[in-house]
Amino acid sequence: MSTEPPDGGTLSNLLKEDRRFEPPAELAEHANLKQEAYERAASDREAFWAEQAERLSWDQTWDRVLDWDDPPFAKWFVGGRLNASYNCVDRHVEAGRGDKVAFHFVGEPVGDTRDITYAELKDLVSQAANALTDLGVQTGDRVAIYMPMIPEAVVAMLACARIGAPHTVVFGGFSSDALASRLEDCQAKVVVTADGGYRRGSASALKPAVDEAVVKAAELGHTVDKVLVVRRTGQDVTWNDDLDVWWHDAVESASTEHAPEAFDSEHPLYVMYTSGTTGKPKGILHTTGGYLTGAAYTHWAVFDLKPDDVYWCTADIGWVTGHSYIVYGPLANGVTQVLYEGTPDSPERGRWWDVIEQHGVTLFYTAPTAIRSFMKQGREIPDQRDLSSLRLLGSVGEPINPEAYVWYRHVIGGDRTPVVDTWWQTETGMIMISPLPGVTHGKPGSAMIPIPGIAADVVDDDGKSVPDGSGGYLVLTEPWPAMLRTIWGDDERYKDTYWSRYPATEDRGAWYFAGDGAKKDTDGDLWVLGRVDDVMNVSGHRLSTTEIESALVSHPKVAEAAVVGAKDEDTGPAVCAFVILRDEAGDGGADIVEELRNHVRKQIGPIAKPRQIMIVPELPKTRSGKIMRRLLKDVAEHREVGDVTTLADSSVMDLISQGVDSGKDEA
């Protein structure tokens, strides 16, 4: 092992990747954005963003593109007025596209489908807006939405936007405690929910959690006025006549006429809670004009959206991806999309591929965690379906390991489709770093460079830009339209969390620190290496967990891997890996652990060779699919496993602990 000293706040650059995929010629020729956009945006950033804002309908144009006089509090399109719901719905109908399908809704029960045109969506949103107003919701009041992935969830969001009532969507998998604390934090007046939704083949209740959350919120001192309930599954619900209102009573009887009011560009659109490493969840505030501009522009540019595309983003609307890339971006662009209620493997493992085949999906956007689970199952399942309609694939949420990228492109995309690895965050509101599919070649594992209009860098502890070939901290060096405006009710926390690491100096303004580590490869392309909290310091080198995980996933027997740096009294921190094998690899064979340790050594070098590798059936993940390395670290360091409340499936940790106990000798 190397004995070199720590390398001054940068991350070691370990993996090398030589595979390249050129943009398809046809796509490149007709691409929405071409090379010149980078230069145009850089030469006059504000003019570029003003041009992007023009794709929306404004009731009143702005006087000033950006007000950055009081950083880090930005105002975009100052003085402009618009209605987000009008932009997502009415204007398409007015332009004669009312018959275009907005949603091919696919419920989890097979055959439970429903197409909704833009004209129908306009009626539904108008009715819901009238119903919310009748329930006492006024402009500025907050509305919580706790729903399955059904059209009414989108309708509720747009109805809130239509009347200027900021929504906060809470993922339907969250507990009543999580819901209660969010209701209290944003003082939600109304909750929109459903009796339940379909997941993994059965009806899964939602309303009981809302009932509990309303009581808990009251204990915290906040009273919810009304609960609006969609009947989805028909399961029994406890009913409180003073509080509960059926959607089919309140909404379906309401008028389909509703005149949208124009709001200030900076009017709050929604609050999305995201958990930090410490403390209570942060309510990320997004406002109207800049956010909608950023979501619509990126959806059009990064997916190279064309009028006939059929788009499908598999995220849940309880996450920011669902907000920006199911609701606001795609609908502002008038797209036809698939909305799917359930899980990828219900009733059987090929469900997603069936949906793609049936609806002729052309643009598909999902997360690396899903891709790796399909890799584990093997290619026979997608191979049985006709996926030839696909022309572009997207990835979001985590670093995509090069091997998963290549599998995605090859098996799902038939080697025709570019893969866009899109880096962004709840806080950024929109895609920030990504290839442009008609311009940038694909490089497996790299999100490449900031899209036109965005400025980012990788810097060391002192804020010095690192040279190509080195790693450091990812920062955003210029404000952008969809940026968060603050943390709901806590401006100080907003400043501290995002802007205190690299404050303004004499030479430059303040930088936004994203919390991620990244490297620039020798071409200057960016590789996001995950949260800096996950970085390990091994023998004086800062190693990113992502690179070692990618090396493991490049072994043909491995589907998924998680790496942590565990303290070791004898040697200092050591690399520990948890590995899921592909189904076809069986138990991997007697020498699997040694084989994998040597594979990492060969791929990266001796420094990264794991001290210990544990073969496990599952990995602990948050409900949005991110690996919780903190818990694995507890296991690796033989501690009692910490707080598991945000795990999607808390039994996973028992499985891992058992596996670790029984496999002690192996490691």
- Rounded CA separation 562/579 (Å): 7
Cβ within 8 Å of residue 69, ≥6 positions away: none
Q: Which is nearer to ligand PRX, 55 or 531 (CB)?
A: 531
Distance of closest approach, residue 525 Cβ to ligand PRX, in angstroms = 13
Distance of closest approach, residue 514 Cβ to ligand PRX, in angstroms = 6
The closest alpha carbon to 399, from 549, 624, 228, belongs to 549
Q: Which stretch binds ligand PRX (CB under 6 A): 163-171, 197-205, 438-446, 509-517?
A: 509-517
Q: Which stretch binds ligand PRX (CB under 6 A): 165-173, 386-394, 504-512, 524-532?
A: 524-532
Q: Which stretch binds ligand PRX (CB under 6 A): 116-124, 162-170, 297-305, 528-536?
A: 528-536
Phi, psi dihedral angles at 631 (to 5 degrees): -70, -35
Distance of closest approach, residue 313 Cβ to ligand PRX, in angstroms = 11
Distance of closest approach, residue 624 Cβ to ligand PRX, in angstroms = 6
Q: Which is nearer to ligand PRX, 90 or 398 (CB)?
A: 398
Q: Which of 516, 525, 547, 549 binds ligand PRX (CB under 6 A)?
A: 516
Q: Which is nearer to ligand PRX, 244 or 304 (CB)?
A: 304
Q: According to the binding rule CB under 6 A, does residue 646 interact with ligand PRX?
A: no
382 contacts 366 by C-beta, under 8 angstroms: no
- Rounded CA separation 271/262 (Å): 20
Q: Which of 303, 424, 480, 511 binds ligand PRX (CB under 6 A)?
A: 424
Q: Which of residues 529-568 bind ligand PRX (CB under 6 A)?
A: 530-531
User: Does an H or E element contain 355, and which?
Assistant: helix 351-359
Q: Which is nearer to ligand PRX, 213 or 518 (CB)?
A: 518
Cβ within 8 Å of residue 80, ≥6 positions away: 53, 58, 60, 61, 62, 63, 264, 265, 289
Q: According to the binding rule CB under 6 A, does residue 52 interact with ligand PRX?
A: no
The closest alpha carbon to 517, from 544, 550, 498, belongs to 544
- Rounded CA separation 337/327 (Å): 10
Calculate ∠ Cα 530-535-538, nearest 5°.
Answer: 145
Query: How many other C-beta atoms lie within 10 A of the C-beta of residue 661?
Result: 9
Q: Which of 116, 245, 447, 613 binds ligand PRX (CB under 6 A)?
A: 447
Q: According to the binding rule CB under 6 A, does residue 484 interact with ligand PRX?
A: no
**126: amino acid identity, one letter:** S
401 contacts 368 by C-beta, under 8 angstroms: yes
Q: Which is nearer to ligand PRX, 32 or 274 (CB)?
A: 274
* Joined tokens for residue 360: 């002729």
- Rounded CA separation 155/124 (Å): 7
The closest alpha carbon to 33, from 417, 305, 391, belongs to 305
- Rounded CA separation 10/543 (Å): 9
Calculate ∠ Cα 121-127-132, nearest 5°.
Answer: 125
E strand spans, 200-240: 202-205, 226-230
Distance of closest approach, residue 309 Cβ to ligand PRX, in angstroms = 21
First to last CA, the chain: 20
Q: Which stretch binds ligand PRX (CB under 6 A): 52-60, 250-258, 415-423, 479-487?
A: 415-423
Q: Which stretch binds ligand PRX (CB under 6 A): 90-98, 206-214, 329-337, 527-535?
A: 527-535
Write the interaction track for ligand PRX spanning residues 569-608; mark x where CB under 6 A is met and - where it is not: ----------------------------------------
Cβ burial of 343 (10 Å; 0-12, 13-18, 19+) is: middle
Q: Which stretch binds ligand PRX (CB under 6 A): 326-334, 410-418, 422-430, 636-644?
A: 422-430
Distance of closest approach, residue 234 Cβ to ligand PRX, in angstroms = 33
Q: Which is nearer to ligand PRX, 250 or 561 (CB)?
A: 561
Q: Which of residues 290-329 bind ligand PRX (CB under 6 A)?
A: 320-321
Q: Which is nearer to ligand PRX, 495 or 531 (CB)?
A: 531
The closest alpha carbon to 296, from 264, 266, 330, belongs to 330
Q: Which of 12, 422, 486, 612 binds ligand PRX (CB under 6 A)?
A: 422
Q: Which is nearer to ligand PRX, 233 or 546 (CB)?
A: 546
Q: Which is nearer to ligand PRX, 326 or 396 (CB)?
A: 396
Write the interaction track for ligand PRX spanning residues 255-284; mark x where CB under 6 A is met and - where it is not: -------------------x----------
Q: Which is nearer to ligand PRX, 117 or 314 (CB)?
A: 314
Number of residues in contact with ligand PRX under rule CB under 6 A: 21
Q: Which of residues 621-640 bind ligand PRX (CB under 6 A)?
A: 624
Q: Which of 515, 565, 610, 620 binds ligand PRX (CB under 6 A)?
A: 515
Q: According to the binding rule CB under 6 A, does residue 614 interact with ligand PRX?
A: no
Cβ within 8 Å of residue 190, ≥6 positions away: 132, 135, 136, 137, 141, 143, 144, 224, 225, 226, 227, 228
Distance of closest approach, residue 226 Cβ to ligand PRX, in angstroms = 30
Distance of closest approach, residue 322 Cβ to ligand PRX, in angstroms = 10
Q: Which residue has the tokens 């995605």?
A: 408
Write the interaction track for ligand PRX spanning residues 364-403; mark x where CB under 6 A is met and - where it is not: --------------------------------xxxx----
Q: According to the binding rule CB under 6 A, does residue 528 interact with ligand PRX?
A: yes
E strand spans, 363-441: 363-366, 392-396, 419-422
**485: amino acid identity, one letter:** R
The DSSP result for 527-589, as a single string, is: EEEEEGGG-EEETTEEE-HHHHHHHHHTSTTEEEEEEEEE--TTTSSEEEEEEEE-GGGTT--
Distance of closest approach, residue 255 Cβ to ligand PRX, in angstroms = 37
Half-sphere exposure of 50 (CA within 13 A, CB side): 13
Distance of closest approach, residue 281 Cβ to ligand PRX, in angstroms = 12
- Rounded CA separation 519/509 (Å): 23
Q: Which is nearer to ligand PRX, 447 or 580 (CB)?
A: 447
Task: Provide the binding-site residues for ligand PRX, judged by CB under 6 A.
Answer: 274, 320-321, 396-399, 421-426, 447, 514-516, 528, 530-531, 624
